[in-house]
Amino acid sequence: MHLQEIFQGLTLSEMHKNIISKKLKKTTINKGETLLHPNDTTFYQYYVESGCLRSFFTDTSAKEHTIQFAIKDWWISDYTSFFKKEKAILQIECIQDATALRLSRDDMEEIFDLVPGIERYFRIKTESYIGSFQKRIIGDLSKTAKEQYIEFVNTYPNIEQLVKNYHIASYLGITSESLSRIRKEIAKK
């Protein structure tokens, strides 16, 4: 694990690296494995070193809505459950064999107390996540499916080789057939 890559912009002493290393638990996740089920409570967030995870919500008609893909250098969790200690509303599954670093809420709080600057790092990551999520909601409300797809490809370059078409379609809130139509339309240009 390369802590300087994870905590970019933060200068860590050897003592601080040791503290953080003891709190981050390396975990291997196999394709198809579920890390979190709805109605469970999660005490962890995950930093993806390799592979791909996705979080999604299944509505009352059993339709999946992908909320996030997490690829290298991304964090993922059901943050409502993680921060508020409530039951999860999301499911997190591995869609490509992955290696991740697991961090518990309690360990994160302890790191905040012991490592200067780390709380700022997580605040900036959280602000970025909230901003991205807000842009996505506005895009969902105001952009065409084609515009959303183009934005998706720019946000997740090369992800199309990692995930299934129906995962992308569920992220965009469209059918797989509509996704195919959009791709054909773009390819013609």
The span from the CA of 53 to the CA of 75, in Å, is 10
pLDDT tens sequence across 37-89: 999 999 999 999 999 999 999 999 999 999 999 999 999 999 999 999 999 99
pLDDT tens sequence across 141-172: 899 999 999 988 888 888 888 888 999 999 99
Q: Of 42, 65, 45, 63, which is closest to residue 55 (Cα–Cα)? A: 65
The span from the CA of 104 to the CA of 46, in Å, is 9
Report the pLDDT value the prediction gives residue 132, as an integer from 0 to 100.
86
Q: Taking phi first (over 0 means left), then psi (-120 to 50 degrees means alpha), and beta for anything else, what does residue 79 get?
A: alpha
> How many CA atoms within 13 Å lie on the side-chain side of 108?
17
For the full predicted model, state whether its pTM sits above 0.85. Answer: yes
Average pLDDT of every residue of the chain: 92
Residues 6+ apart with CB under 8 A from 170: 56, 63, 64, 65, 66
Q: Are strands 34-36 and 64-70 parallel, antiparallel or unpaired?
A: unpaired
The span from the CA of 133 to the CA of 146, in Å, is 19
Q: Does the pLDDT at position 35 exceed 60?
A: yes
Specify the length of the chain in residues: 189
77 C-beta neighbours (distance < 10 Å), count? 24
pLDDT range class, residue 11, cuts 50, 70, 90: confident
Domain borders along the chain are 3-139, 143-189
pLDDT range class, residue 1, cuts 50, 70, 90: low
**Quick one: fold of 3-139?**
Jelly Rolls (2.60.120)
